[in-house]
Structure 1
Amino acid sequence: MTTTDTWLRAYTLLALRIDRRLTGTATGTVLIYRGPQEWRQAVAAEEPRPAGQLVEDAEAVVAGAPDRYAAAEARALRMAARRLAGENLPPGEYARAALGIQAGWLPEEVFEEAHARLDAALPPAPGRSLAERLAGWQAAHVLPADRVDAQVPDLVARAVAETRRRTAAIVPLPRNENVGCRLVSGVGFRAAGAYTGGAESVIHINRDLPFNLADLLYVVAHEGHPGHIAESLLKDRLGGTQHARFLLAPPFVVSEGLGLHAQEIAFPDDEAQRWLTDRVLAPRGIRPDGSDFAAVHRAQNALFGVWANAAFLAAEGRPAAEVAGYLARWALLSPAEADAARGSLAATGMVLYVLGYFHGWRLLDSWLAVPEAERRHRVRRLLTERLLPEDLR
């Protein structure tokens, strides 16, 4: 076994041990693991290590990291171990140490701008608030619940085929790739793309939530191509820590930034809306209402910053009602949605998780704002190279 192999085993075992201790996460796990099953089984069978021992193990893993990318991931594990040991840094300091980003309180002007974009993008509705108009737009494009099981897998398959075709024009993809769709219940996410190895992947869709047809490509591009599945598939050949991806680490910021830009990358301007109108909405009798899907989605991406600010409020110990009220006011959530969102921020790792979304989106928003030829080159790099947030500034 080489020195690198020895380090990779130590890193992987540490990641598995920390993931075992981080119970109560909103996503169910903070580790995407496709490594040797005997390693997972060995960790599951052993007595949980004390947090202090995990910190010592993490220091050794950081010290022995073979390159700067591995070192960044190892430092993220060290921060998780230190939090398990009782260290409680403010969210901004934690984000800098674990995610490699500068994350502070966002001025509400960011959200006011997003609200103005939504106001222009949504159909007019005199007398109704912006939150009511957004909810009305979503309801107008929802697939009836009794049709979800029968129609969503086919809709996802058609969207996967189109997003793969467009992504393959940017970067080569395996011809034999297979992406399935699985409807799931009782989960805390809207959708999740999972690369399972080789050329196999699956997109999980939460059947308990309303399925917005206007969001079909936004979701499938994010979870699939050129988002999470494409990135995992193409980077799997790089080896290293790809088989044990700790989510609360710098690469997660880049991945979520890519996911939130995925639809814009594959469908510039109004191409997503035109594809959906012709192939999905019109056949179901949903007529154009004058809304601008791309502008709605861009505004919603910016409003992930509301969750980031709410995470700061929650970390300060602000009353639950204040945090929920902030989410309702600025993220345009219903009272029930805001209360659920506020509750999810208490889950293990969610403070870093929500910071990764907005700051990843904003980081790539600047990095991809280049002429088209260079933009495509940079998308290829995002999909095939190990990049950290510091590489994109």
Structure 2
Amino acid sequence: MPVTPREWLRAYALLALRVDRRMAGSATGTVLIYRGPQEWRAQVEHEEPVPAGRLAEDADALLARLPFEPGRARYLAAQVRALRAVARRLSGRELPLPEYARECLGIAARWLPEALFEQAHTALDAALPRGTGSLTQRLHLWQAHHTLPADRLHRLPALVDGAVAETRRRTSALVALPADETVRCRLVSGVPFRAAGEYEGGLRSTLHINRDLPFNLADLLYVVAHEGHPGHIAESLLKECLLVDEQGMLDHQIRFMLGPSFVISEGLGLHAQSIVFPGDQAQAWLTDHVLSANGITPDSSDFAAVHRAQNILFGVWANAAFLAAEGRPDTELAAYLSRWALLSDAEAGAALGTLRATGMALYVLGYFHGWRLLDTWLSTSDRDARVIRLLTEQLLPADVEPVDRHPSTDQRSTAHRRP
């Protein structure tokens, strides 16, 4: 029997809410960003949990009848396939991580060669001030040099507000933003993240900053642009205004975080600073408006090169996700993260908690692979138009893959080498 788009979207929302309810132990407490009808959420909250096998069958039923035009049907089918893969995993049907990533994220994930990380280390070596210590020690000294002193932590919200204003101003040169949008900064404790951008609806958003961690002011624009504009908050705001409010595309209020759209979102977040602060503009702005006012003297470092190298080193986390999926011990994962991602012992310990959390071994793959896909896709003369598409259209990883990609690449990239 044919279903209406509204009936289909209701079933889709219920499936997402039911899968999310079964995903206990996620690092964020949820794997779903839900802003849809509250009566649907209440229905799921008050019912008995649905068996995972039944949820997989419900996903199959949704895939069998998609009452939408082909482009939107293709996008929604990718989201449902992700929900189905997670439901199947919950029912005991586990796939190797590369196949699981293909089903959920729509990417060809593979073990990344350490030569890639060695290149990033070489770039970091050139970008950091000269020193006699190891590369890890020099990176940590650079971070410490630019860290906001603990007795000035009360200044951080104002510094974030200034960065939000500047990133919004530059983003508005690319795409129109609502003039009455508001973004507040909130310092939080006891959370597993450094920062998180949350669009709350009604043109209101909050940037949550972890007050328990030292804040590196050299990263201020890198963090604020990623979480805010033109990153997560801008994407959520613009798509809700354009897709939901204007076009009635309710599915954008039902965003499953282990699906392909978040590969695009995290890739955009990692490129956000360089989009609105090309070259050394971020470092120049920070030097003029933030660093000297907080007693931080200039050094010979290259902030943009440091951040690009750190983006590449998100690939280390992707490899660590493969190790975690294979059941390797924590000591091996921590050693790998320390060696290649240049993490301190404390940072590696925190990273283990993230990787072991429900769904995160899958989610972390989206950072590097999203960054790498967009690194190629945005390197064109029509970059600004493509940024606007990222902020206003529902795109899948397949939509931003290189056009000359050979089909056999998929087969080769699903294999990974054990270290």
Q: TM-score range by the shorter chain?
A: over 0.9
Alignment counterpart, residue 324 of structure 1, candidates 334, 337, 342: 334
Corresponding residue to 2:164 among 160, 166, 186: 160
For 2:385 and 2:127, locate their aligned partners in 1 and report how far apart those are by CA, in whole Å. 30
Amino acid across the alignment from 2:157? P
Separation (CA, whole Å) in 1 of partners of 2:3 and 2:283: 52
Aligned to 2:148: 143
Instruction: Report the CA distance between 1:288 and its aligned residue.
Output: 0.7
Match of 1:178 in 2: 182
TM-score when scaled to structure 2?
0.91
Partners of 1:113 and 1:275 in 2: how far apart?
A: 28
Instruction: Decide which of 71, 95, 102 is 1:96's aligned counterpart.
Output: 102
Paired with 2:3 and 2:162, the residues of 1 have a C-alpha distance of 45
The whole-number CA distance in structure 2 between the counterparts of 1:37 and 1:145 is 41
Deviation of 1:2 after TM superposition, in Å, equals 7.2
Q: Which position in structure 1 is the counterpart of 2:238?
A: 234
1:132 to 129, 132, 137: 137
Cα deviation per residue 1:162-205 (whole Å; 9 max; x = unaligned)? Answer: 00000000011111111111111111111110111121111111
Q: How much identity, in percent, do the aligned residues show?
A: 69
User: What amino acid is aligned across from residue 243 of structure 1 in structure 2?
Assistant: Q
Give runs of aligned pairs for residues 193-204 of structure 1, distance below 5 A: 193-204=197-208
Match of 1:363 in 2: 373
Deviation at 1:340, TM superposition (A): 2.3
* Aligned counterpart, 1:29: 30
Q: 1:87, 1:324 → 2: CA distance?
A: 28
When the two structures are superposed, what TM-score results if normalisation uses the length of structure 1?
0.97
- SS at 1:359's partner residue? helix
Could you tell which deviates more after superposition, 196-205 or 104-113?
196-205
Report Cα offsets for 1:266-321 as digits up to 9, x if no partner: 10000000000010001122111110000000000000000000110111111221
Cα drift, residue 72 of structure 1: 0.6
- Partner of residue 122 from structure 2, selected from 113, 116, 119: 116
Cα drift, residue 147 of structure 1: 2.2
Q: Secondary structure at the match of 1:171?
A: coil
Structure 2 unaligned segments of length 5 or more: list them.
402-419
* Aligned pairs for 1:252-267 within 5 A: 252-267=262-277
Determine helix, strand or coil for the equivalent of 1:179. Answer: strand
Q: Helix, strand or coil for the counterpart of 2:356?
A: coil
Question: Which stretch has the larger CA shift, 26-35 or 324-333?
Answer: 26-35
Number of the residue aligned with 2:20: 19
Q: Specify every segment of 5 or more residues in structure 1 that has no aligned partner in the other structure, as ranges.
A: none
Moved >6 Å (runs of 4+): none
What is aligned with 2:324? Answer: 314
Name the counterpart of 2:51.
50
Is 1:381 the counterpart of 2:389 in the alignment? Answer: yes
Q: Secondary structure at the residue paired with 1:105? A: coil
Q: CA deviation at 1:145?
A: 2.1
Number of positions where the alignment pairs a residue of Structure 1 with one of Structure 2: 389
Deviations along 1:205-225, one digit per CA (max 9) or x if unpaired, are 111111111100000000000
Q: Distance in 1 between matches of 2:298 and 2:260?
A: 40
Give the RMSD, CA atoms, in angstroms: 1.2
C-alpha deviation, 1:154, in angstroms: 0.8
Q: How far apart in 2 are the matches of 1:207 and 1:72?
A: 37
- Separation of aligned partners in 1, 2:139 and 2:255: 35
CA contact (8 A) 2:148 2:294 kept: no
CA displacement at 1:42 relative to structure 2: 1.5
Deviation string 1:340-381 (CA, Å, 9 cap, x unpaired) is 21232111111111100000000000001112xx00011011
Distance in 1 separating the partners of 2:107 and 2:395: 13
CA distance in 2, matches of 1:350, 1:253: 13
Q: Secondary structure at the match of 2:297?
A: coil
